[in-house]
Each structure stands twice: as structure tokens, then as C-alpha cells.
Amino acid sequence: MSSRVFILTMRAVRWLTHRPAYMLLTAEDDGLANQLPGRFGRTWFGIMLLSLLWGASSMVLYSWTWGLFGDFSGIPLMPVVVVLVVGLMGLYARCLLALAESLVKGEPRRCVAVAVIVAAWVLMLLGLKSWNPNFPYYLPYIWQWTRPRMMFRPLLLAPIWGGWAMLLAVQFCRPTERSEPVVAAFARGCTPLATTAVLTALLMVTMVYFNHLPWTQLSISATAIVTAAVGGVLLCRRWGGLCRAALLATNMLTQIAFVLAYLANR
């Protein structure tokens, strides 16, 4: 039974690594250039699905690690380390590098920028600590997963906002002759209607999850929207036009802004 589960898991992982959305986020530039651009015409849906999957997985990782190791002197160090190692060294490694390269040029300075961004993520995730269990006891047990603990909600929503930022960026920055073929195909397939529909759903969930905070319910979402719009345009200009690096950097920048806005509202 265990061997069958392992085989199925490996097949699922192999299938995922060949999906256009996963490749757009993680693949080497040479490998991505060899792909047929037509495969990336509807990648926006895969980006959002993958972002949701990672957001849910990060909550599970955090909760599981916290239950296994506990915390040290009230600091959830191990959960933060595990989530960041899996996220920033896995799915979002290229987003991290793209943002660092957008800030500074040159190898030594880029390494410093990466260290600063990682340190910022550590401090932000440590700030999510909540002593209130926040379990939705008023809901039947089978539906309690729809209302995660307060500290887990930024972990769930930040990747989704980051993924949506990539959708918004291609509305303001259209493909040019310098854009990679897969990025141009992604931009053509990501319509304003799709971007607006995703934003509407995301706004509704964010308002429901953060309606307990003292500021206006839209302040956190507004921060993410402004960061995605302004940051996306500036990053595209920084890279000389719409390109993969600009999209990935916009994703990471929006996630950071979203979590910071949440912490500022607590």
C-alpha cells in the first residue's frame, strides 16, 4: 500500500513539474525557451490554482511543524524555517532572485539583497504568532477548514495575491519584441475579464477573513492592489519591458506588501 502511494505521489509530482504554470515559476530559462508558447495561453488559471495549493500547503506545514517541534521561548522558529525553506528554495526561488536582481545589479550585491529579503520574510512570519486558538467552533467540524486560524490566513492569501499580481501586470505592460514567447502567450491569454473575476473572488475572501481587524476591511487588499499595479509597471520598466523576471519579481513584492499590511493592521 505504501509503495503504491509513493508511486502515485511521484507521478503527481512529475505531472506537476511539466505544467505550464509551474514551469513559468520555476523552470530554467533555457528549458522554458524550448516550450511551445501555445501551452501558456491559459496559464493564468494554473498560476492561481498553484498559488492556492501552496498557500494551503504552507498552512499545513506550519501547523504540522509547530505541533511536532513546538516553539522555543514563545518563538515559532521551526515552523517559520520549514515554510521558508520549502517556499523560497522551491516554488518561489526564482521570484526571490528576480526581486533581488530588480533591486540591485551584480553578484555580491544580489546576494546581500537575497539575504535582506529572506530576513524580512523571517521577521514577518515570526510576527504572525497568535496565542488565540481562533477555531471556528460555531461551524460543523467538516467545515472548520474554511475558517483557518488568524495567523494562518496571511499564509494562505499572500501567495494568491502574488499570483494575481502577475495577472494584473500584463494588463498594464503589454508584450514587446523583448518579451519571451511564453510570456507573450501568457499575457495574450490573460484577459481583463479573468483578472477582474479573480480579484472579485479574492477581495471577498480577504474581507471575510480580515473583518476582525481595526482598520478598514479593504486596507490590506488595497495595499496589495496598489503594490501589484505600481510595482508591476516599475519592475517592467526596470527590466526594459514585460518579461518573466518582472512578473516573478512583482509576485514576490506583492506577497511581502500584503503580509506587511496585515501586520500593520494587527
State the residue for C-alpha cell 467540524.
Answer: 141
Give the total number of structural domains in the chain.
1
Q: Which residue blocks in 18-137 are alpha helix, DSSP H? A: 20-26, 29-33, 43-69, 77-86, 93-103, 107-126
Tell me if 255 is assigned to some domain.
yes
State the residue for C-alpha cell 506545514.
Answer: 61
Report the candidate in 253, 95, 249, 239 with the shortest Cα–Cα distance to residue 175: 239
| Strands of 156-250, DSSP E | none
Tell me if 11 is assigned to some domain.
no
Identify the residue with better confidence: 7 or 107.
107
Tell me if 35 is assigned to some domain.
no
Tell me if 18 is assigned to some domain.
no
Least confident of 20-24, 44-48, 211-215: 211-215
Mean pLDDT of the chain: 87
pLDDT tens per residue across span 111-154: 999 999 999 999 999 888 765 556 665 666 667 677 888 888 99
pLDDT tens per residue across span 19-41: 899 999 998 888 888 888 889 98
Check if the beta carbon of residue 161 is closer than 8 Å to that of residue 203. Answer: no
**Rounded to whole angstroms, what are the CA distances from 18 to 26, 57, 82, 172, 235?**
10, 20, 25, 28, 27
Tell me if 16 is assigned to some domain.
no
Tell me if 25 is assigned to some domain.
no
How many Cβ atoms from other residues are within 10 Å of residue 145's Cβ?
Answer: 11
User: How is residue 30 annotated by DSSP?
Assistant: H
* pLDDT value for 115: 94
Tell me if 174 is assigned to some domain.
yes
Least confident of 114-123, 136-145, 163-172, 212-221: 136-145
Domain region containing 145: 44-265
Tell me if 259 is assigned to some domain.
yes
Report the candidate in 179, 178, 264, 171 with the shortest Cα–Cα distance to residue 222: 264
Identify the residue with better confidence: 77 or 130.
77
Largest CA distance in the chain: 55
Mean pLDDT of 240-247: 95
Check if the beta carbon of residue 169 is closer than 8 Å to that of residue 234. Answer: no
Mean pLDDT of 69-91: 84
C-alpha torsion sign, points 151, 202, 90, 178: negative
Residue 255 and residue 223: Cα distance in Å, rounded? 10
pLDDT tens per residue across span 194-206: 999 999 999 999 9
pTM of the entire structure? 0.92
Residue positions counted in the chain: 266
Whether 187 has a pLDDT exceeding 60, the answer reads yes
Residue 265 and residue 171: Cα distance in Å, rounded? 29
